[in-house]
Amino acid sequence: MKILYGMQQPDEGTITVNGEQVTFSSPADAIARGIGMVHQHFMLADNLSVLENVVLGAEKLHGIGARARAKITEISDAYGLNVRPDVLVEQLGVADRQRVEILKVLYRGAKTLILDEPTAVLVPQEVEALFDNLRELKAEGLTVIFISHKLGEVLSVADEITVIRRGTTVGTADPRHTTTKQLAELMVGSELPTPETEESTVTDTPLLRVEGLHLSQTDLDGVERIILDRINFTIHKGEVLGIAGVEGNGQSELVEAIMGVRHPDAGVITLGDTDVSHLSTRRRREAGVGYIPEDRHRHGLLLEAPLWENRILGHVSERPNSRGPLLDIKGARADTERIVEAYDVRTPGIDVTAASLSGGNQQKLIVGREMSHEPQLLIAAHPTRGVDVGAQAAIWDHIREARRAGLAVLLISADLDELIGLSDTLRVMYRGRLVADADPATITPEELGSAMTGAAAGHLEGPEQTEDDAR
Amino acid sequence: MKKLTQRIDKERLLLGVAAPLLAVVAAVVVTALVILATGKNPIDAFSEMGTYGIASDSQVYILNKATTYYLAGVAVAVGFRMNLFNIGVDGQYRLAAFIAAVLGGALTAPGWIAIPLILVCAMATGALWAAIAGVLKVTRGVSEVISTIMLNAIATSIIAYLLQPGQLGQLDPAGTLVSTKPLPQGSHLFNIDTGASGILDGFIFVAVVVGVAYWFTLGRTRFGFDLRTVGLSESAASASGVSVKKMVVTSMIISGGVAGLIGMPTLLNESYQYDNSFPVGIGFTGIAIALLGRNNPVGIALAALLWGFLERSTNHLEFQGYDKEILGVIQGVIVLCVVIAYEVVRRYGLKRQQQRVGAELAAQAAATTENQEVA
């Protein structure tokens, strides 16, 4: 996608537009060839009007005055976009902003539109309206590339579907003869992960209980969006609870709520016998919660600080990092050496900055750090994302080993093989709710995949779904 | 492996010094061009500055100036380490010095009680004034840059209002100067008489203590680690359990507390009262000095000394027929260059280290496979 829009260069392969082979060295080249992109995160200046936003950077096309306004109205009418050129962007809702983005691309003369997860931010009615717009564009002879995780939407809007998994095309499908389930199969791949031969280590002692967690957020338009809705689950000692779901369905918020970074509107979180709902993040960490954040650069590391300082991060109040209010630099350094050794972090020393390590080694350092404080509960969000295969296996082994010692793990991952391979219990999260549960011993990735897209709910069991006991 | 670590350390030190050095060199070049443009010989000017600037009476003058500047630099640096831009150091120290002067004038207690009381009062006033900006930032999201600038103006007005005869001020016998009631003799801080060279302010020792405390707190305590964490990455800090909001307010309070000390060498060692001639604008000087010293306790000291030297020596140039604006040019260019050089050097250093670590690891990997092949 980035290559197609000229933001990145391919190592190999060719792009052909209208029978002509092309290379893009910048987005400007792509635009010149009639390829435009609507990003998932809007790139609009709030304090400018729609007209100003549209002409920004394309002043040469039709000027910035009446001619540009006429052109905008013309495009808007032609495709039924219903855009008013003189409104300030900050006054627009999400759906309107998206239409402005589309108009921006059309204004620059695009004949091929790339839409990256356009429905992620929209409510169902807005999605329908967007689809109407897209059909309009199609009728006018434009090409639309629609990138989405949501299978139902893809089926309803597309004429042809290409499935990409882990960087390669795994298949194409015709939406008229394809079901959501078949698509899910293509998407997650049908091969099962190597089955777990280990015995279950799940005990009867509940460690983390989450009851009635609810979180909602009011966005700029004053529309209340429910992010977490009636979340209930229990993790026992020695149990790995896996949460499957397409990203952006509330998993990050759930993790943040359990860590105490985000404050839910309602709900009780109990760790062991203590109610930790109102404790600070630091107290929760001290109580034995280890945390492998999903975005290690933003939440797990100080990139410009040396490794031994990163080893202190998050555990500054615990030994061997400090004694009383003072840091124990000697202790922290010695323990960093130990982690580097034990977790095979490939680094020339502990004084280099975290930024100079590769992603896999950064992640091993984080895993080592979190495991070094004998956590009772480990929250692992995408623990092996962007990590090479060797490091991935090592991280899995560490989690399994700790589980045997009675560690409870909340595992959130987009990698279904990882989820099925590691978890003792599986839950599926969709639109802020835990909609389905499954036994990883019998579930197939396809079933999990269809539940993730909201196509199935309740208890998922075996090849034939039992819809009866849904909810 | 050890060697590389050492090499990186050495390199890091070199890079650390490179930025301010580059800035000073660039400033010298630009200044030389400016002096040339005015039709005078820059070499003569620089040699004048050199010989005059290191004379023994100049040394004492520079140390006294640097004491004040050092405190200002540290006050600003505390905020910088947190990514907070405390422009309000200026208002904080003036208000603090004024209130402390009023209290000092009213106290009749012996010096060993009065002086600590005055210091505590000054720090508390500065801290409170800064805390307003901190609280506004965390509760209402007001940028500390805006609120502290406004608080500076408010401080100026408050002082102007209170420093009137009949309020907290008094007219001197000549009827020309309004000041607070002077501190009694007992509340004067000790000075070091160096004879012909002049009098060295005793407060320089307090400044040294502040510097050591700054270094110790940031580098050796849990609190300092939390503070630096927030400065390096707010998101990582909050995920690691630091309450960012609490940290913002706390560091503003500390910054303001140190700012409260800025006026103290003047009050306790020189003027013994607050009047209209009390130095202003030192808070802004502090920003330049913290930038130049890279928020490092030793760096700030060097920057403060450089600033004192520049002021002293360019003052002298004026009497030699050069334009006095030279000082502004040098200082301005230094600050501008240091901001640019710092960022350039930082990026370069980070990239270079990444490359070296990559190269080292590749070499290691190659060595092990070779060994395996041999075996």
Q: What is the CA radius of gyration of chain A?
A: 25
Nearest-CB residue to B4 (from A298, A316, A348):
A348
Question: For residue A283, what is the nearest residue in chain B, using CA coordinates?
Answer: B241
Contact at CB, B361 and A352, closer than 8 angstroms? no
Contact at CB, A305 and B232, closer than 8 angstroms? yes
CA distance to partner chain A, nearest, from residue B373 (Å):
21
Contact at CB, A327 and B220, closer than 8 angstroms? yes
- pLDDT above 70 for B9: no
CATH number, residue A238 = 3.40.50.300
CA–CA distance, A43 with B267 (Å, rounded to integer)? 54
Task: Let me know if residue A247 belongs to a domain.
Answer: yes
> Which residues of chain B make contact with A322, given a CB cutoff of 8 A?
222
CB B222 within 8 A of CB B231: no
Amino acid identity of B149? I
CB A133 within 8 A of CB A78: no
More confident call, B374 vs A132: A132
Instruction: Say yes or no: A436 and A342 in one domain.
Output: yes
Contact at CB, A356 and B354, closer than 8 angstroms? yes
**B362 interfacial to chain A (CB closer than 8 Å):** no
* Segments forming the whole domain that contains residue A132: 15-147
CA–CA distance, A47 with A70 (Å, rounded to integer)? 22
Query: Which H helix or E strand runs over A323?
Result: strand A322-323
- pLDDT above 70 for B208: yes
Question: E-assigned strands of A237-287?
Answer: 240-244, 266-271, 274-275
Greatest alpha-carbon pair distance for chain B in Å reads 97
Contact at CB, A348 and B220, closer than 8 angstroms? no
Phi, psi of A142 (to 5 degrees): -90, 160
Instruction: Say yes or no: A302 and A450 in one domain.
Output: yes
Instruction: Say yes or no: A137 and A69 in one domain.
Output: yes
**Boundary of a domain, candidates A129, A147, A165:** A147
**B215 interfacial to chain A (CB closer than 8 Å):** no
Task: Let me know if residue A252 belongs to a domain.
Answer: yes
> Which residues of chain A make contact with B233, given a CB cutoff of 8 A?
298, 301-303
Q: What is the pLDDT of residues B285-343, one digit of tens each?
A: 999 899 888 888 998 999 899 889 888 888 888 887 777 787 888 888 888 888 888 88
Contact at CB, A299 and B236, closer than 8 angstroms? yes
Q: Minimal CA–CA distance to B100: which of B127, B119, B76?
A: B119
**Lookup: tokens for B344:** 């350039």
Instruction: Say yes or no: A123 and A218 in one domain.
Output: no
Q: Are strands A206-218 and A224-236 parallel, antiparallel or unpaired?
A: antiparallel
CA distance to partner chain B, nearest, from residue A334 (Å):
14
pLDDT for B6 equals 58
- pLDDT above 50 for B112: yes
DSSP single-letter state for residue B195: G
CA–CA distance, B231 with A419 (Å, rounded to integer)? 36
pLDDT for B7 equals 58
Q: Minimal CA–CA distance to A295: which of A170, A381, A176, A189?
A: A381
Tell me the Ramachandran region of residue A247: left when phi exceeds 0, alpha when psi lies from -120 to 50, beta otherwise.
beta
> Which residues of chain A make contact with B240, given a CB cutoff of 8 A?
281-282, 285, 313-316
Which of A352, A358, A365, A388 should be substituted to probe chain B, the one whose Cβ sees the most B Cβ atoms within 10 Å? A352
pLDDT for B1 equals 46
CB A22 within 8 A of CB A13: no
- pLDDT above 80 for B2: no
> Which residues of chain A make contact with B356, given a CB cutoff of 8 A?
356
Which residues of A lie closer than 8 Å to B, measured between beta carbons?
259-261, 280-285, 291, 293, 298-305, 309, 312-317, 322, 325-327, 329, 346-353, 355-357
CA distance to partner chain A, nearest, from residue B121 (Å):
26
**Boundary of a domain, candidates A147, A164, A198:** A147
pLDDT for B127 equals 94
Query: Can you name the residues that pair with A426 across neighbouring β-strands?
Result: A242, A438
**DSSP H helical segments within chain B, as ranges?**
2-37, 42-53, 56-80, 89-106, 111-140, 144-162, 204-220, 222-232, 234-239, 244-261, 264, 282-292, 297-319, 326-374
CB B241 within 8 A of CB B93: no
User: Is the interface score ipTM higher than 0.90?
Assistant: no
Instruction: Say yes or no: A246 and A113 in one domain.
Output: no
Q: How long is chain B?
A: 375
CB B261 within 8 A of CB B206: yes
Contact at CB, B357 and A356, closer than 8 angstroms? yes
Amino acid identity of B365? A
DSSP sequence for A210-236: EEEEEEEEE-TTS-EEEEEEEEEEEEE
Number of domains in chain A: 2
pLDDT for A468 equals 41
More confident call, B24 vs B80: B80
Q: Minimal CA–CA distance to B148: which of B164, B160, B132, B163?
A: B132
- pLDDT above 90 for B154: yes
Question: For residue A279, what is the nearest residue in chain B, using CA coordinates?
Answer: B241
Q: What is the pLDDT of residues A77-118, one digit of tens each?
A: 887 777 888 888 877 777 788 888 888 888 888 888 888 777
Instruction: Say yes or no: A221 and A115 in one domain.
Output: no
CA distance to partner chain B, nearest, from residue A375 (Å):
15
Instruction: Say yes or no: A120 and A246 in one domain.
Output: no
Instruction: Say yes or no: A385 and A298 in one domain.
Output: yes
Q: What class has domain B68-321?
A: mainly alpha
Distance between start and end Cα atoms, chain B: 23
**B3 interfacial to chain A (CB closer than 8 Å):** no
CA–CA distance, A150 with A129 (Å, rounded to integer)? 16
**B350 interfacial to chain A (CB closer than 8 Å):** yes
Residue A85's alpha-carbon distances to A72, A221, B192, B331, in angstroms, are 7, 19, 73, 49
> Which residues of chain B make contact with A281, given a CB cutoff of 8 A?
238-243
Per-residue exposure over A262-299, b if at least 16 CB sit within 10 Å of its own CB, e if not: bebeebebbbbeeebbebebbebbeebbbbbbbebbeb
Instruction: Say yes or no: A143 and A217 in one domain.
Output: no
**Boundary of a domain, candidates A124, A147, A170:** A147
Residue A30's alpha-carbon distances to A4, A162, A164, in angstroms, are 7, 21, 22
Instruction: Say yes or no: A256 and A124 in one domain.
Output: no
pLDDT band at B209 (very low <50, low <70, confident <90, very high): very high
Task: Let me know if residue A45 belongs to a domain.
Answer: yes
> Which residues of chain B make contact with A299, given a CB cutoff of 8 A?
235-236, 239
DSSP sequence for B304-328: HHHHHHHHHHHHHHHHTT--TTHHH
CA–CA distance, A194 with A420 (Å, rounded to integer)? 10
DSSP sequence for A50-73: HHHHHHTT-HHHH-SSHHHHHHHH
Q: How many CA atoms lie within 13 A of B248 on its CB side?
A: 21
CA–CA distance, A107 with A104 (Å, rounded to integer)? 5
Task: Let me know if residue A199 belongs to a domain.
Answer: no
DSSP single-letter state for residue A28: H
pLDDT for A1 equals 64
**Lookup: tokens for B147:** 């609120």
Count of C-beta atoms within a 10 Å radius of residue A432: 23
Question: For residue B360, what is the nearest residue in chain A, using CA coordinates?
Answer: A348
- Show me where the domains of chain B are located: 1-40+324-368, 68-321
pLDDT for A471 equals 37
Task: Let me know if residue A368 belongs to a domain.
Answer: yes
Question: E-assigned strands of A27-142?
Answer: 35-38, 112-116
Contact at CB, B233 and A329, closer than 8 angstroms? no
Q: What is the pLDDT of residues B237-263, one digit of tens each?
A: 888 888 888 999 999 999 999 999 998
Task: Let me know if residue A95 belongs to a domain.
Answer: yes
DSSP single-letter state for residue A196: P
The answer to whether the Cα torsion of B209, B212, B214, B218 is positive or negative is negative
More confident call, B365 vs A20: A20
**Lookup: tokens for B193:** 């008489």
CB A106 within 8 A of CB A79: yes
Task: Let me know if residue A23 belongs to a domain.
Answer: yes
> Which residues of chain B make contact with A329, given a CB cutoff of 8 A?
220
CB A436 within 8 A of CB A458: yes
pLDDT string in tens for chain A (471-residue length): 667 777 666 667 777 877 777 777 777 777 778 888 887 667 788 888 888 888 887 777 777 778 888 888 888 888 777 788 888 887 777 778 888 888 888 888 888 888 877 776 666 667 777 888 888 888 888 888 888 766 777 788 888 888 876 567 777 878 777 777 777 667 665 443 444 545 677 788 888 888 888 888 776 666 777 888 888 888 888 888 888 887 777 888 888 888 888 888 888 888 888 888 888 888 888 888 889 988 888 888 888 888 888 888 888 888 888 888 888 888 888 888 888 888 888 888 788 888 888 778 888 889 888 888 888 889 988 888 777 767 777 888 888 888 888 888 899 887 777 888 888 888 888 888 888 888 877 777 777 777 777 766 677 665 444 444 433
Task: Let me know if residue A56 belongs to a domain.
Answer: yes
Contact at CB, B360 and A304, closer than 8 angstroms? no
pLDDT for A165 equals 66
Q: Are strands B178-179 and A377-381 parallel, antiparallel or unpaired?
A: unpaired
Query: What percent of chain B has a predicted confidence (pLDDT) above 70?
Result: 94
**Lookup: tokens for B371:** 């060994």
Q: Is the peptide bond before A320 cis (omega within 30 degrees of 0)?
A: yes
Contact at CB, A316 and B222, closer than 8 angstroms? yes
CA–CA distance, A207 with B204 (Å, rounded to integer)? 57
CA–CA distance, A63 with A54 (Å, rounded to integer)? 11
Contact at CB, B242 and A282, closer than 8 angstroms? yes
Most confident listed range (B41-45, B167-171, B226-230, B321-325): B226-230
Which of B13, B225, B230, B294 should be substituted to probe chain A, the one whose Cβ sees the most A Cβ atoms within 10 Å? B225
CA distance to partner chain A, nearest, from residue B233 (Å):
6
DSSP sequence for A424-465: SEEEEEETTEEEEEE-TTT--HHHHHHHHTTS--EEE-SSS-
Give the three-state DSSP class for A379: strand
Question: For residue B346, what is the nearest residue in chain A, using CA coordinates?
Answer: A304
Q: How many CA atoms lie within 13 A of A327 on its CB side?
A: 22
